[in-house]
Amino acid sequence: MELFNTLGGKVETLEPVGAAELRMYCCGPTVYDYGHIGNFRTFLHVDVLRRFLRQQGMALKFVMNITDVDDKIIRNASAAGKPIAEYTEKYERAFFEDSDALGILRPEIVAHATSCIPDMVGMIQKLAAEDIAYRAEDGSWYFRIARFPEYGKLSRKDFDGIEDGARVDVDEYEKDAARDFALWKACKAGEQSWDTDLGCGRPGWHIECSAMATKFLGESLDLHCGGEDLMFPHHENEIAQSEAASGHTFARHWMHVRFLLVEGRKMSKSEGNFYTLRDLLLKGYRASAIRFLLISVPYRHQMNFTFESLLESTNAIDRLRTFHQRMLKGGFAEGRDEALAAATAKAEEGYTASLTDDLNTAEARAAIFELVRAANSAADAGTLRSGNVTEILRVLDLFDGVFAVLKDNDAEITRAALVWAEHEGRLAEASPELVTKLSMPDEEIEKLVAERTHAKKVRNFARADGIRNELLAKGILIEDSKDGVRWRRK
Ligand code: AMP
Ligand code: ZN
């Protein structure tokens, strides 16, 4: 497939070089809090890419790291009076629960920064042997950018102004040049640290990814992914460390997912303009609709988050699922309508061509909805035949292999979110309708209504009234009419 490569700034063929599988790395979350849906927009597009490459028959080895030590983690853990491992464990678990809820496939390898400290130390020592890494007076280690002339090749920034004075990396240690960035941060009282050959301290964020990517995927990767904010300085620094240490190209292909915005500004923790998946689930939005919305705008475009678009996405999924059920139900006459067969083939082609062309999810989605429209009108007009259904279901399956929204486990996911909210004392944030609806699922209501009908038949009026009151207390009304018994939620 063709994918835009930030390194070089053009669309290029994505392929494994010198190996049977595509070696792929994505910078994972820093587990100091719940992720917001902006973070998940990035992970969702990486998921779409993985699923599509697999569908195209490519073997993948995908590694994602978990940043489980950094300034924010240390600060928050100490505020909570917990060791960092205990603090991060909760948020890492939440990250994977949210990823699962959003249909994001698990990576082949999840690498924890705190489990790879010796690899980071080894890489810094290698750089130190060449005097590319140096030790500052306080015991911190820095990368000497002057020794890596290609610095800036990814983000194509002009660094001339930065050299004299401005600090790129926000840390408080002494260093030789303002641009030099920390590889290893000397230990401070009360902070988690490791005793190593470099001295006591903890790794900088950038060295984590260089060391972990190299450890699991080798010195040259096929593809490296992350959100657009990571391009500089994080990815630029990863390149500098890795290439200075190995002498090889670190990653041939770089994919950057553009931001999710709220009213024109980047969704972020620091702006306070963010929603977590759990916030939205408690408001009654469905996990599948959130996935569908976040992947429907191609990754090379920033997208604005609105609640209207989330509702549109919910409706779109309903349309798809209803259509899918209609096809599964069948009951169409034998044969094959040729015009619809041609439309089906065109939709399949459109789907594959769009994703092959730099992962154009919007066009892939449009191709499938065009098929839904054509097939629904053919079914309404009575021209759709059983031979068409087989093909249509195959194309829908193909689409769903990447978009993953047909299977309806939304209620189950929302119920889990309610259990979590109750546990965290945040049930008050949940919409009241949701609490009622999920406290009594439809099937349970049906059962009680049937039991009441039976109780009336055997003249057990006390039980019948009891059931009516029990349901009423949960906001469910029973209406007896001459056509039978109906129920509805208040
Ligand atoms: P973090 O946990 O802050 O390291 O972020 C995890 C991932 O989310 C990184 O790849 C970021 O680039 C990405 N990210 C952060 N904010 C946004 C946003 N508003 N839209 C899309 N991706 C984002
Ligand atoms: Zn990284």
Calculate how far, in angstroms, residue 161's C-alpha sits from the geometric centre of ligand 2.
25
For residue 205, give the ligand nearest its CA.
Answer: 2
Indicate whether this model's pTM tops 0.75. Answer: yes
For residue 133, what is the enclosing H or E element?
Answer: strand 133-135
Shared domain check, 70 and 135 = yes
By most ligand atoms within 8 Å of CB, the mutation choice from 39, 96, 275 for ligand 1 is 39
Q: What pLDDT is attached to residue 482?
A: 81
Position 171 scores a pLDDT of 53
- Sign of the CA dihedral with 79 first, then 93, 419, and 43 last: positive
Structural domain boundaries, residue 449: 414-489
Distance (angstroms) between ligand 1 centre and the Cα of 51 equals: 20
CA–centroid distance, residue 405 to ligand 2 (Å): 29
**Residues 201 and 288 placed together within one structural domain of the fold:** no
* Beta bridge mates, 266: 261
Q: Which residues pair with 251 in a beta bridge?
A: 221
Task: Identify the domain boundary among 340, 375, 403.
Answer: 403
Domain membership flag for residue 44: yes
List pLDDT tens digits, range 273-309: 999 999 999 999 999 999 999 999 999 999 999 999 9
Which three-class secondary structure state does DSSP give residue 152?
A: coil
Q: What is the pLDDT of residue 164?
A: 39
Contact 182, 127 (CB under 8 A): no
Number of structural domains, the chain?
3
The best mutation among 72, 208, 229 to test binding of ligand 1, ranked by most ligand atoms within 8 Å of the C-beta, falls on 229
Evaluate whether residue 88 is within a structural domain: yes
Strand 199-203 to strand 194-196: parallel, antiparallel, or no bridges (unpaired)? antiparallel
Q: Are residues 253 and 303 in the same domain?
A: no
The three-class DSSP label of residue 297 is coil
Residues of the chain under the 50 pLDDT cut: 163-168, 170
- Residue 84 and residue 8 in one domain: yes
Q: 147: domain CATH number?
A: 3.40.50.620
* Ligand 1 atom having least distance to the Cα of 228: 12
Q: How far is CA 441 from CA 137, 281, 344, 427, 471, in A?
A: 65, 17, 37, 18, 12
* C-beta separation of 22 from 60 below 8 A: yes
Ligand 2 centroid–CA 390 distance in Å is 44
Residues 259 and 275: their CA atoms lie apart, in Å, by 14
Co-location of 332 and 430 in the same domain:
no
pLDDT value, residue 110: 98
In three-state secondary structure terms, 65 is strand
Is residue 332 located within the same domain as residue 457?
A: no
Is 78 close to ligand 1, i.e. is its CB under 6 Å away?
A: no
pLDDT at 157: 81
What pLDDT sits at residue 438? Answer: 72
User: Cα of 443 to ligand 1 centre, how many Å?
Assistant: 40
Q: Bridge-partner residues for 30, per DSSP?
A: 67
Residues 12 and 88 reside in one and the same domain: yes
**Could you tell me if residue 409 is inside a domain?**
no
Final residue of a structural domain among 370, 403, 436: 403
